[in-house]
């Protein structure tokens, strides 16, 4: 079984996220999403999520491409996750191009093109938040 992992906040879930998850799943048979916790988002990314971790987890678990959701609590957990979950492929959007090449010692690393014109930030702006 080919296992794929990806990481993200996935707040205000939108079709750009779904495009990423669909292509990520197509790279293997089992997709793990490491979902940024509320604390990680605030402390490390300066992001205040609209939905809580539990709500974002529930949304992701309802997506047919997603097989497992685990918490992302720190930047450094990726290498450990790849080993622990016996991951074959790490995948993330190309806004992170090159940032995780260090994982190439352990698994395949794939950067997928982002879906243009949509982001959680844009949605909030359009809604006047
Ligand atoms: N994404 C995309 N197209 C968009 C918006 C997002 O393909 N229009 C992708 C991102 O590239 C990422 C995933 O969807 O792979 C989740 O996006 P975010 O929630 O913004 O994730 P991010 O904050 O970049 O967190 O340790 C890595 C970080 O947790 C990544």
Sheet-wide strand order for 68-72: 68-72, 30-36, 3-8, 89-93, 108-112
Q: Does the pLDDT at position 129 exceed 70?
A: no
Q: Look at the pTM and tell me if it is higher than 0.95.
A: yes
- pLDDT (tens digit per residue) in 68-119: 999 999 999 999 999 999 999 999 999 999 999 999 999 999 999 999 999 9
Cβ 118 under 6 angstroms from ligand 1:
yes
DSSP 42-61: HHHH----SS-HHHHHHHHH
Mutation probe of ligand 1 site: the residue of 14, 89, 95 with most atoms within 8 A of C-beta = 95
Pairwise CA distance, residues 95 & 116, whole Å: 11
Pairwise CA distance, residues 15 & 13, whole Å: 7
- pLDDT (tens digit per residue) in 51-73: 999 999 999 999 999 999 999 99
- pLDDT (tens digit per residue) in 5-56: 999 999 999 999 999 999 999 999 999 999 999 999 999 999 999 999 999 9
Pairwise CA distance, residues 25 & 91, whole Å: 10
Q: Does the pLDDT at position 122 exceed 80?
A: yes
Tokens 């016996």, residue located: 86
Closest-CA residue, ligand 1 atom 25, reads: 8
Cβ 94 under 6 angstroms from ligand 1:
no
Distances in whole angstroms, Cα of residue 12 to Cα of each of 48, 114, 119? 11, 16, 9
């Amino acid at each position: 079984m080919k296992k794929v992992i990806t990481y993200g906040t996935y707040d205000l879930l939108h079709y750009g996220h779904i495009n990423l998850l669909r292509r990520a799943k197509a790279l293997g048979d089992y997709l793990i999403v490491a979902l940024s916790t509320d604390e990680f988002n605030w402390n490390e990314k300066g992001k205040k999520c609209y939905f809580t971790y539990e709500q974002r987890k529930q949304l992701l678990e309802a997506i047919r491409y997603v097989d497992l959701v685990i918490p992302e609590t720190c930047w450094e957990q990726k290498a450990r996750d790849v080993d622990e979950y016996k991951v074959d492929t790490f995948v993330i959007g190309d806004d992170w191009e090159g940032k995780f090449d260090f994982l190439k010692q352990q698994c395949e690393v794939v950067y997928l093109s982002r879906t243009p014109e949509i982001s959680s930030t844009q949605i909030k702006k359009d809604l006047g938040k």
